[in-house]
């Protein structure tokens, strides 16, 4: 090859658009661009296939369709205010999450965290319209803990990653406030009653939870208003996990002499 050919080839490589692999389907896509709505990690086809929840139908759990859980007669008191989710948990989203949680695709973490930002923007606007508070609505953000067995198995807590995505928009500190008292089996194949029994007493405050919250309070003028905490998880199914965690968070705030309002945001709503 002559020096002219080498120069021409090098110039072509320099000017040609660089490519990368779509994280979800493997298709080659142009890198360096702005992507669809800022999502540069996935191709346009994968973005369009995402079942976003833009207008929740249920005002409590944020489900995109009619919700028998929240409309059931004799519904027990909930310990959280509302839940909002990014996407509907269909077969495609189930596969994405399985790739991330169970098959070692940690590279999907930043994509999921970015998706959480969309849900947070919508949730903050909704809460701002209701309360008139446009900034600093949440005092802190926490996440559903995984057991030691799950941590050893996966090497990470997916809900923690999602929490940092939410915190980027909410501008509130991420606080590790909860831990599991024991390992539980996967909840996906259990009904609501089974989940409630299985999760009873599972979530408890970490030993220094009250101290972590107290540091947040010290940075603010003393107030009698409720502590507003945002709880983050990957999937909302029956709400039993969110509700059980919310009860433990109420307990932490109560020990500091403060009432609490617990809100929830999840990546998916089944």
Distance between CA atoms of residues 71 and 59, nearest Å: 11
Give the per-residue pLDDT at 215: 83
Give the per-residue pLDDT at 7: 46
Give the per-residue pLDDT at 148: 83
pLDDT digits (tens, 9 = 90+) for 16-28: 456 788 888 888 8
List the chain residues with pLDDT less than 50: 3, 6-7, 11-16
pLDDT digits (tens, 9 = 90+) for 222-270: 567 889 999 999 999 988 899 999 999 999 999 988 899 999 999 999 9
The CA angle 17-23-29, to the nearest 5 degrees, is 20
Phi first, then psi, for residue 178 (nearest 5°) are -120, 155
The domain spans of the chain are 17-49, 52-269
Please give the torsion angle defined by the CA atoms of residues 50, 55, 56 and 57, in that order, rounded to the nearest 10 degrees: -120
Distance between CA atoms of residues 216 and 213, nearest Å: 5
Q: Is 120 exposed, middle or buried (0-12, 13-18, 19+ CB in 10 A)?
A: buried
Report the sign of the C-alpha dihedral through residues 96, 166, 47, 86, in that order.
positive
Distance between CA atoms of residues 213 and 33, nearest Å: 41
Percent of the chain with pLDDT over 70: 81
pTM of the entire predicted model = 0.86
**The pair of three-digit structure tokens given for residue 243, joined into one six-digit string:** 């509700």
**The pair of three-digit structure tokens given for residue 261, joined into one six-digit string:** 């309002």
Give the per-residue pLDDT at 112: 93
- Starting at the edge strand that comes first in sequence, how are the strands of the sheet with 83-88 ordered? 83-88, 260-269, 227-236, 140-143
């Amino acid at each position: 090859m002559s020096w002219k050919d080498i120069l021409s080839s090098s110039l072509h490589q320099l000017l040609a658009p660089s490519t990368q692999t779509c994280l979800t389907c493997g298709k080659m896509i142009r890198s360096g661009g702005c992507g669809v709505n800022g999502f540069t990690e996935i191709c346009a086809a994968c973005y369009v296939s995402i079942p976003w929840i833009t207008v929740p139908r249920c005002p409590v759990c944020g489900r995109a369709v009619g919700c028998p859980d929240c409309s059931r007669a004799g519904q027990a008191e909930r310990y959280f205010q509302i839940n909002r989710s990014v996407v509907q948990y269909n077969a495609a989203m189930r596969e994405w999450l399985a790739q991330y949680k169970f098959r070692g695709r940690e590279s999907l973490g930043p994509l999921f965290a970015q998706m959480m930002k969309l849900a947070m923007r919508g949730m903050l606007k909704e809460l701002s319209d209701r309360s008139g508070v446009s900034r600093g609505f949440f005092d802190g953000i926490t996440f559903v803990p995984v057991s030691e067995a799950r941590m050893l198995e996966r090497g990470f807590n997916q809900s923690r990653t999602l929490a940092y995505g939410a915190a980027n928009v909410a501008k509130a500190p991420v606080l590790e406030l909860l831990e599991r008292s024991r390992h539980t089996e996967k909840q996906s194949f259990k009904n609501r009653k089974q989940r409630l029994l299985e999760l009873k007493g599972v979530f408890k405050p970490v030993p220094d939870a009250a101290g972590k919250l107290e540091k947040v309070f010290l940075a603010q003028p003393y107030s009698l208003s409720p502590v507003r905490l945002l709880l983050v998880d990957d999937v909302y199914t029956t709400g039993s996990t969110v509700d059980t965690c919310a009860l433990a968070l109420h307990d932490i705030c109560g020990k500091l002499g403060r009432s609490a309002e617990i809100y929830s945001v999840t990546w998916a709503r089944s």
